[in-house]
Amino acid sequence: MKKVGFFNSVHLKFVLIYVLLILVAMQIIGVYFVKQMEETLTGNFQTSLKRQVTMLGYNLVEQMQRERGTGETDSQEEIRRILKEFAVGDIIEARLIEADTLKILGTSKQNEQEVVGQRTTEMRVKRSIVIEDEQSEILVDRNGHRIWVLVTPIKSDRKIIGVIKVVANIESVFEQMKTINGILATGTAIALVITAALGILLAQTITRPITDMKKQALAMAKGNFSRKVKVYGYDEIGTLAMTFNNLTKKLQEAQATTEGERRKLSSVLSYMTDGVIATDRRGRVIVINDPAAKMLGVSRETVLSQPIVSVLDLDDTYTFEELLEIKDSIILDYSTKHTPYVLRANLSVIQKETGFVNGLITVLHDITEQEKIDAERREFVANVSHELRTPLTTMRSYLEALADGVMEDPEVGPQFLNVAQTETERMIRLVNDLLQLSKMDSRDYRLSKEWVDFTEFFSRIIDRFEMAKRENVRFTRILPRKPLFVEIDEDKLTQVLDNIISNALKYSPEGGEVIFTVLEEEGKITVSIKDEGIGIPKENLGKIFDRFYRVDKARTRKLGGTGLGLAIAREMVNAHGGTIWATSEEGRGTQIIFTLPYEPTEEVDWS
C-alpha cells in the first residue's frame, strides 16, 4: 500500500474547509460591525444634539430669569428668536415649556405660534419634570421618516423651571447605515459566490468517493456484492475505499456461507415433523417452524418476538429462568372437554463455552395419540380384568358350594351347575369377541367378499330373528323391491346385523316395534335398525361403539352382553368401507345406522 503524501492528504482538504469557515466567520463579524456602527452613529448624533440642547438651556434660563427679575414684556419674542436660531440643520422643532404651569412659552416653528400659551399634555414632558431627567425616543412620522424626540429639563438654583422639547430628523443616520449595509451585502454576496465555488470543488474531491461508498453500502444491504468503489486517490478516503472493497469481498464470501447454512437449517426445520422453537437470551421467540406453529395454532408473524412462556401458555406455571433450569421434558396439556390434545416439550439451553446463555431450543412432540392409546390400553386391561373376574368369581363360589356337598341336593345342585355353565358360556363369548377384535386389529386381516343381493340377505337374517322373537315385539320392514347387489363378507356382516338386532330385541319393551330399513342412495346403501327401547342419553351416544362401554352395565350383564358387540360392528363396517353411527332419544328408542358402498349395475342380456 502506497504512503499517503501531504498534498494528497485529507488534512489539507480540512485546512481548506477551515479557511472557508473563517471566511464565513468574517461575514458574521461584518454583521456585528454594522450593528455596532449603527449604534455608534446614532449615539454620536444624539450626543451632539444633547450638547446643543445644553447650550440652548443656558440661554433660555438666563432669559427666563431676566423676565422674572426685570418684568420685560418682549421676553416672549426673545425666546422665540433663540429657539428659531437653534432650529437649524437636522433640528425640526424646539419648544420651551414652563415647569409649573406646563404652558408652552415658545416654539421655533413659525406656522405653529398659536400653541404658545397653551398647556401641553405630553406624558414624556410630565415624566421628565417628575423624575428630573431627560426623556428620548425614536419615532416614525407621517411621512415614514424616523425622528428623535428629546425632552430635557432646565434648572435654576437646583429647581426645574422649564422643559426643552427638541424634535430632530435622525433619518440621515439610517441613510448612512443603509449605504454601509449595501456595501457589506455586496461584499457578502461576492464572498458567498467564491465560497460556493470552493465548496463545489471540495465536494467533487471529498464527497464523490463517499457517495460511491454510500451507493455500495445500499447495494450490499439489498444483497448485491458485485459492485466496487472507485478509488480516486491515495489519501485517507482512497485507503478507506480500498478497505471497503476488501470488506465487500469478505462479506460476499461470508454471506454465501451463511446463506448456505441458512438454507440447510431452513430445509431441516421445514421437513421436520416435530415443532422447533428457538429464543434469544431474553426468552423471546426468534425462530419457529411451520409444524410448531401448527401445533400451537398460531401464525409465525404474531409469535416472533413474543416471550416463549406466553407462546406455550406457561405464564402462570414457569418463568423463562425456570425453564432454563428444567432438565427433563414438560407436558403441555391443551385438551378441552371434548377434544384431547397433549404435547411434550423437550428443552435444550444454548450456552457459550463461558457459560453465558444465548437462548433456548424447544422441540415439541404431539403425543395425543400416544396418550390416548395408553389410556385406552389401561382401560381395556381394566375392563377385561373386570369382565373375566365377575364370572370367574361366580363360578368359583358355585363350584366350591358344589364341592362342599350341594351337588347331592337334587334341586339345588342342577341349578348351581346351570349357573356355572352360563358363566362359562359368557366367558367363551367374551374370549371369542376379544379374539375377533384382535384379528381385525392385525394387519393381515382380510375379508372374503362376494357379490350378494343385500335385500334378500337382510330379509333372511330378519326372518331368522322373527322366528325366535317374543310374540309381543313387532317387526316392520321397509325394504326395496328390487335386488341391491353389494360386495360384502356375508359371515362378518351377518355378525354385525346379529349384534345390532340382538341389542334391539333386548331393549325393546313389551308391545314394542323394531323397524328395519334399507335405502338406496348415490354411491351407497343406508341400513337402519330402530327400536322403541329406553334410549341412550345424549352425552353417552358417542361412546357406545367403544370397547366394553355400556350405558346400563347392570342390565347389560343381566342380559348376557359383553360390551364388545357394537365395537366389533364398527370395525367390520369400517373394513367394508362404510360408516356406522347411532341416533337416540331417551325413553323413545335407539336407531343404529350404517352404510355400505354401492354401485348400481344395469342388466346385460348376453346372447
pLDDT of 434: 65
User: Which position has the grid cell 414438560?
Assistant: 330
Instruction: Choose the most confident range, by mean pLDDT, from 188-202, 210-224, 429-443.
Output: 210-224
pLDDT of 471: 64
Neighbours of 505 (CB within 10 A): 20
Report the 3 state secondary structure along 184-250.
HHHHHHHHHHHHHHHHHHHHHHHHHHHHHHHHHHHHHHCCCCCCCCCCCCCCHHHHHHHHHHHHHHH
Is this prediction's pTM over 0.95? no
pLDDT of 559: 45
The C-alpha atoms of residue 579 and residue 595 are separated, in whole angstroms, by 5
Question: Which grid cell is 570?
Answer: 364398527
pLDDT of 528: 93
Helix (H) or strand (E) holding 393: helix 368-403
Sketch the domain layout of the chain as residue ranges: 1-271, 273-366, 372-441, 450-597
pLDDT in tens, 168-213: 888 888 888 888 878 877 777 777 667 666 766 666 676 677 777 7
Cα dihedral 415, 418, 420, 422, rounded to 10, equals -140
pLDDT in tens, 43-85: 888 888 888 888 888 888 887 777 665 555 566 778 888 888 8
Domain 273-366 class in CATH = alpha beta
Q: What are phi and psi of 493, to 5 degrees?
A: -70, -30
User: Which position has the grid cell 433619518?
Assistant: 171
* β 474-478/513-521 pair status: parallel
**pLDDT band of 560, cuts 50, 70, 90:** very low
Least confident of 36-40, 246-250, 408-412, 461-465: 408-412
pLDDT of 271: 67
**How much is the average pLDDT of 27-35?**
79
**DSSP string of 74-118, one letter each residue:** -HHHHHHHHHHHH--TTEEEEEEEETTT-BEEEES-GGGGGGTTS
The reply to whether domains 372-441 and 450-597 share a CATH topology is: no
**How much is the average pLDDT of 36-40?**
84
**How much is the average pLDDT of 257-280?**
76
pLDDT of 426: 67
Higher-confidence residue of 565 and 527: namely: 527
Helix (H) or strand (E) holding 64: helix 10-70
Let me know: does 373 contact 402? Beta carbons within 8 Å.
Answer: no
Gyration radius (Cα) of the chain, Å: 59
CA distances from 575 to 113, 362, 500 (A): 134, 40, 17
**How much is the average pLDDT of 542-557?**
60
Mean pLDDT, the chain, rounded, equals 78
Out of 3.40.50.300, 3.30.70.100, 1.20.1740.10, 1.10.287.130, select the CATH number for domain 372-441: 1.10.287.130
**How much is the average pLDDT of 397-402?**
76
Which CATH fold topology does 1-271 show? Answer: Beta-Lactamase (3.30.450)
Which CATH fold topology does 450-597 show? Answer: Heat Shock Protein 90 (3.30.565)
